[in-house]
Amino acid sequence: MIAYPPALRRSGFVGPREGGESARAQTPPHRRVVVRLWLPMTPIFLILAPFAILLAPLLYGVPRPYCERPFATVFGVGALLLSLGGAVVDVDTPEALVRIRIF
């Protein structure tokens, strides 16, 4: 048996086992989780837009520096959401792959 240095033993290092195979070769392969999400923003925006316009007068209660023109603020947020069309967000880690497509 080989005596490995303490630093390797503390890190969880496993040396070759009898038969010449390493511990990684004996473990089953780890499967990556793949998540693909499509968000249709235009239909969601069209469904929620009337509610935003109806609730815009409530923004008059917000202090002046934050919202001087409530309806312009509502339309600006709507334009921002519609401009996200075609955006693709990829998150790639060793354990998972996440892809979010906004259209």
User: Tens of pLDDT along 44-82?
Assistant: 888 988 998 898 888 888 887 878 888 888 899 888 888
Judge contact between 67 and 57, C-beta under 8 A. Answer: no
Residue 3, pLDDT above cutoff 80: no
Residue 7, pLDDT above cutoff 80: no
User: Tens of pLDDT along 17-51?
Assistant: 655 555 555 555 678 889 999 988 888 888 988 99
Give me the torsion for CA of 94, 86, 78, 39, rounded to 10°.
Answer: -50
